[in-house]
């Protein structure tokens, strides 16, 4: 398990190396600050064939730099034919129903499961 956390957030890569759990409010100041998280996410692309799951159901807030981080990851993932990607989201968290669909436009096979 690997963990990156700050005052308002936690990002945790589970032992299976393909499930990432996000919690809190991610409002870091730019791509430089998001780089360690993005590198951790890219680590999931090392397991060909296994679906990658991002559990966002406790991520209450994401700023536009965070959206940029996810779009960078999605664009890298879509280049790989063997990668399938699933986002677990919650309808009760407004940004998720509003903004995740933009990532789906980048990668149509991206599956978004809304609770």
Partner 1 sequence: MMAPDRILGDYGNSNERCEYLTLAFSPLSVPLRTRWRNNGLSADFLGDYVTTFLPAASETASAGKHQAEIRHAVTYIANELLENAMKYHAHEVDIPIRLRLELADDRITVSATNGAVAGQAEHYRTFVERIAPENAGDLLVRQLEDTAAGNGSAESCLGLLTMMNDYGAKLGWRFEQHGAHPGVTMVTTRAILPLKDRCGERA
In angstroms, what is the minimal distance from the CB of 27 to partner 1?
Answer: 5
15 vs 32, beta carbon nearer partner 1? 32
In angstroms, what is the minimal distance from the CB of 57 to partner 1?
Answer: 15
Residue 49 tokens, joined: 């064939």
In the complex, the residues that contact partner 1 under the rule CB under 8 A are: 7-8, 25, 27, 29-31, 61, 63-65, 67-68, 71-72, 74-76, 92-95, 98-99, 102-103, 105-106
Angle between helices 31-42 and 64-78 (to 10 degrees): 30
In angstroms, what is the minimal distance from the CB of 22 to partner 1?
Answer: 16
Helix, coil or strand: residue 52: strand
**Rounded to an integer, what distance in angstroms lies between the CA atom of residue 87 and that of residue 97?**
12
- Per-residue DSSP letter, 32: H
């Amino acid at each position: 398990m690997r963990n990156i956390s700050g005052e308002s957030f936690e990002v945790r890569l589970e032992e299976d190396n393909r499930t990432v759990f996000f919690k809190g409010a991610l409002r870091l100041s730019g791509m430089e600050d998001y780089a360690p998280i993005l590198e951790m996410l890219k680590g999931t692309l090392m397991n060909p064939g296994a679906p990658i799951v991002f559990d966002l159901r406790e991520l209450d807030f994401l700023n536009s730099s965070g959206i940029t981080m996810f779009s960078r990851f999605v664009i890298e993932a879509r280049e790989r034919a063997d990668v399938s990607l699933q986002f677990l989201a919650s309808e009760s968290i407004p940004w998720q129903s509003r903004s995740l669909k933009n990532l789906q436009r980048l990668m149509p096979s991206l599956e978004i499961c809304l609770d």
